[in-house]
Chains A and B, each alone.
Chain A
């Protein structure tokens, strides 16, 4: 199986704030805020081996259509990748 495990990129700090999260990119001094769902999706991406594992974890948690969760997860994943937060 191809490992697609996501990790926080170098220079990225993640701090939980209640159910939400803030991220600091130490290199650029940019800050990001994640709402509860986005923070949960990031945690799932970081804690599981593949994107599908992350999706399965979220499907069990959220009462929403599978396709909707998949689309949201992909959107968040691409945004985090694009900002250099995960890799």
Chain B
């Protein structure tokens, strides 16, 4: 059996170990170099497995991912971007084969394998930007290019708001609350614009699905649409095994019952963002009042 050092990092309230140091995770996070040792995951030929094949996007590149679920662990082949192993509990990521390009390697390692490791630990990563406001998290969902990052960046410059996420937002769904984490490495941002990594979970107060609309409009969606919105905006969900898909659906159903999902429509016009910010503040005050009334009734 081969033993090696592991490098353990705190991401989204979970510990994830790697078989090598990960520079991007070292900042602002607890690193326990060499505190535990790991054995290299072995995948004997012929053991039963579930193969999930998926097409997806890694930043601006289209990728094909083959994910092999075996009793010994999960092997993830990102065509052209390396092969990775994740243990069955999502505690450990090993690099089986890495691409030569350093940036491509970093993007791959901190993409599908890390997202899968967190999913195996019950944390789901949304394709989302997010800001915090008065201690709560507002999550912006939508198709690529719809303006999630632009809205979060604008709001982060306004009094009372601060940016939580630019592209990937880990959430965990509890019995009475959905919580978001601000410490996932945001690969899209240049170094000097990266979100200040911070620990701790922030309660999610609302999910907002951004849509093109001729005028400013905010409307809560029905619950099945809410579930569908969360499902379809989860990163790397197409790589999930049947067991993970089941847990993921249950988490989305639970989340949709706890936190409202809104359609937020507005024209693609930067000059309208102040109106969007005002609308969001109003809706948050309304949500806050509703929550207080609910708690008082309870």
B245 & A26 in contact (Cβ 8 Å cutoff): yes
A33 & B249 in contact (Cβ 8 Å cutoff): no
Question: How many residues in A have their beta carbons less than 8 Å from beta carbons of B?
Answer: 15
B227 & A22 in contact (Cβ 8 Å cutoff): yes
Interface residues on B, range: 10 to 19
Question: How far, in whole Å, are A36 and B113 apart by their CA atoms in the complex?
Answer: 38
B223 & A15 in contact (Cβ 8 Å cutoff): no
Question: How far, in whole Å, are A13 and B247 apart by their CA atoms in the complex?
Answer: 11
A22 & B253 in contact (Cβ 8 Å cutoff): yes
Question: How far, in whole Å, are A26 and B250 apart by their CA atoms in the complex?
Answer: 13
A15 & B222 in contact (Cβ 8 Å cutoff): no
B246 contact set on A, CB distance < 8 A: 13, 24, 26
Residue from A11, A20, A29 within 8 A of B223 (CB atoms):
A20
Distance in Å: Cβ of A24 to nearest Cβ of chain B: 5
Q: What 1/0 mask marks residues of chain B from 230 to 273 whose CB sits below 8 Å from any chain A CB?
A: 01100001100010011001100100110000000000000000
Considering the complex, give the chain B residue whose CB is closest to the CB of A15. B253
A9 contacts chain B at the CB level, 8 A cutoff: no
Distance in Å: Cβ of B88 to nearest Cβ of chain A: 19
B242 contact set on A, CB distance < 8 A: 11, 26
B232 contact set on A, CB distance < 8 A: 31
Question: How far, in whole Å, are A20 and B245 apart by their CA atoms in the complex?
Answer: 20
Query: Provided the pairs A22-B253, A29-B238 are in contact, do residues A17 and B245 lie with their beta carbons within 8 angstroms?
Result: no
Distance in Å: Cβ of B191 to nearest Cβ of chain A: 36
B226 contact set on A, CB distance < 8 A: 17
Chain B residues engaging chain A, CB cutoff 8 angstroms:
222-228, 231-232, 237-238, 242, 245-246, 249-250, 253, 256-257
Chain A residues engaging chain B, CB cutoff 8 angstroms:
11, 13, 15, 17-18, 20-22, 24, 26, 29, 31, 33-35
Given A17-B227, A33-B227: 16 more A-B contacts, CB < 8 Å: A13-B249, A15-B249, A17-B223, A17-B224, A17-B256, A18-B223, A20-B223, A21-B224, A22-B227, A24-B245, A26-B245, A26-B246, A29-B245, A31-B231, A31-B249, A33-B228
Would you list 14 pairs from A and B whose C-beta atoms are within 8 A, ordered by A residue?
A: A13-B246, A15-B253, A17-B224, A17-B226, A17-B253, A17-B257, A18-B257, A20-B222, A22-B224, A24-B246, A24-B249, A31-B249, A33-B224, A33-B227
